[in-house]
Chains A and B, each alone.
Chain A
Amino acid sequence: MRSGKTVRRIFTERLAHCALATAFVLAACSTVFSQAAKLENGEIDVVQVRPNFYMIAGAGGNIGVQIGADGVVLVDSGTEAASDRVLAAIRKLTQLPIRYVIDTGADTDHVSGNARLAKAGQTIFVNPLGNSSFLNSMTNGGAAAILAHDSVLKRMSVPTGKTPAFAVETWPTEAFYTNRKSLRMNDEGIEVLYQPAAHSDADSFVFFRRSDVVAAGDILDTTRFPVIDVAKGGSVQGEIEALNRLIALAIPPGPFIYEGIGTYVIPGHGRLCEQLDVVNYRDMVVVVRDVVADMIKQGMTLNQIKETSPAKPYETEFGTQPGATNAFVEAVYKSLTAKK
């Protein structure tokens, strides 16, 4: 058993360590923040998340960038129009090749840069015999692999004979069918975790276990109400369940709550988040779901519900884009009234 003196000494040392750690973190953060502020000209903003991890904002959906000895792993690729600027931003961070582009979903602003960024990279397979045709046929033409859940491939492609929404070279080259796909790159375990029926039926989280960073895709969008595409398999309950899983994945900064931020969460759009931001977002979806459900129970129609502004507490924060509030309320209503 520790004596009172020992406990006091440990507490004092802990405080001293806290002060030193805080000073170090603040100094480190100040560097990071300054860099971010300087790079915020134009549309591309590179925010350092961890020493080897960055978030690129302003290129459509947010892009996660993990860098290490094996090369670069990207989460999402942004829009095709922004690809050159994204590539230039990555080249400022490292000259190492892009090895993987991992897609969190199938929306244009997250995947249309796939082809450009993958082609700028290099497959993980080596070619010691110089047989390029053999290598090209085995891989994504020698380029970086595009990894995603099969549902993303289905959304981006179409049955033979029809015109697909995306060019073939943007499609995932490695699609998986399971709920979890794992790989290890740059001395770090990476999990791609499929989330059924949330924003759509083609969403995944990408969890970097050592960096303690989760890329959430459009399940978390801090700039607006969640876009729940019911026609493409999304649902409000699936959205809530996915956000609950995201909260469970993310660890808050405790017990020493003022020493850091905890798990970082990269949203599909908006600023870099932590667990509490996800909790606030989840709470918003739950409250609006409950309000609409109560009104449905009272026999109100969709139009009658809309007239009461059921999302009023959140409109100034998440409903500033034209039609965003109505679209969300409609999606909630449709989710709750859909035939099981």
Chain B
Amino acid sequence: MTRNPMSLTAVLLLSMGLPVLAQIDLSGSWQSKNHEDALERGAGPNPGDFTGIPFNESGRAMALTNSQSQLSMPERICAFYSQWHMMVGTFGVKIWNETDPVTGRTIAWAVGAWEDRAQMTIWMDGRPHPSKNAPHSQAGFTTGVWDGDVLTAYTTHMLTGYLRRNGVMTSDQATMTTHFIRHGDMLTLASQLEDPIYLSEPYYITRTFVNTTALMNSGGPPCIPGDEGVPEGTVPHYLPGKNPLVDEMTKLYNIPREAAMGGAETMYPAFREKIKDKFTMPAKCQRNCGGPPPGQN
């Protein structure tokens, strides 16, 4: 029996799993580097800290209306977060691909659920997003495309959720565009949130994960609401002008209210110039200092 060396080479090349169409493997367990935005990913941001949020007027009014006691409403205890929480939550992620058993092609990439966030399934098979009248869910609906080595996922049909866990909301019309960028053992997610209801400009955030052999959780546990003291039908909220936490950032850090209350302007470097004369370093750091301020030990 004779062998064709060219055919053998071709078979070997095909069997080596070389990247097709510049796709790369994202699968594995990825530990979150939580020193980035540690407060955001840990205990949660300070009340009244809306710095850098590109609010429109309704968005700001909504945040000031919100009382954290809403989380204890029986109807909301198990409601948890939208997919945006993947960008600001505390956990690492487990990622895997679902393949077509016949063709071997990747139908979808999955980012496993957390206990407070649903699984994100990124459909890669070209299916359309649902109609505007279809139901929304915490998971939302996500499709993806490869752009070189970067997987770009687009999420729609989410339920309302938190942009920041201090009352800054996302509406059910918010959309997320998330880039999955792998550099060896590092994975960067860069996401853009657009929300015509509460934001005047897109909001961007990045976060970094590192590949790990520790198994990341990929499924949420059951949730059974308990009694947290808010009676059914009660809606905790603040009346206009009566949110007691509105000056929290000024009291703690001398940050001027116009900066703490957010708005698109507060995202840009030029805004620092605008308020530089209104800010003085507090004599003593009172909370979440992350290290002594300059000149103090």
Contacts and interface: CB of A to CB of B under 8 A. Distances in A.
A271 B58 contact: no
B42 interface: no
Contact of A15 (B197, B198, B219): B219
Interface string A199-224: 00000000000000000000000000
A294 B131 CA distance: 40
B282 interface: no
A30 B123 contact: yes
Nearest to B196: A316
A261 B223 CA distance: 14
Contacts of A47: 131, 133-135
Contacts of A272: 133-135
Interface in B80-122: 80, 98, 113, 118-119, 121
A47 B235 CA distance: 32
A261 B129 CA distance: 18
A28 interface: no
A308 B240 CA distance: 9
A314 interface: yes
A330 interface: no
Nearest to A247: B75
A33 B79 CA distance: 23
Nearest to B224: A255
Interface string A30-41: 101110111110
Interface residues of B, number: 54
Nearest to B63: A313
Interface of A: 15, 18-19, 22-23, 26, 30, 32-34, 36-40, 45, 47, 55, 57-58, 244, 247, 252, 254-258, 261, 264, 270-277, 279-280, 282-283, 286-287, 290-291, 294, 308, 310, 312-317
A58 to B, nearest CB: 8
A279 B133 contact: no
Contact of B65 (A18, A37, A276, A287): A287
21 contacts: A18-B219, A22-B119, A32-B134, A33-B129, A34-B127, A37-B131, A40-B133, A45-B132, A252-B79, A254-B225, A257-B118, A258-B219, A270-B133, A271-B132, A276-B159, A279-B73, A279-B75, A291-B239, A312-B57, A313-B58, A313-B62
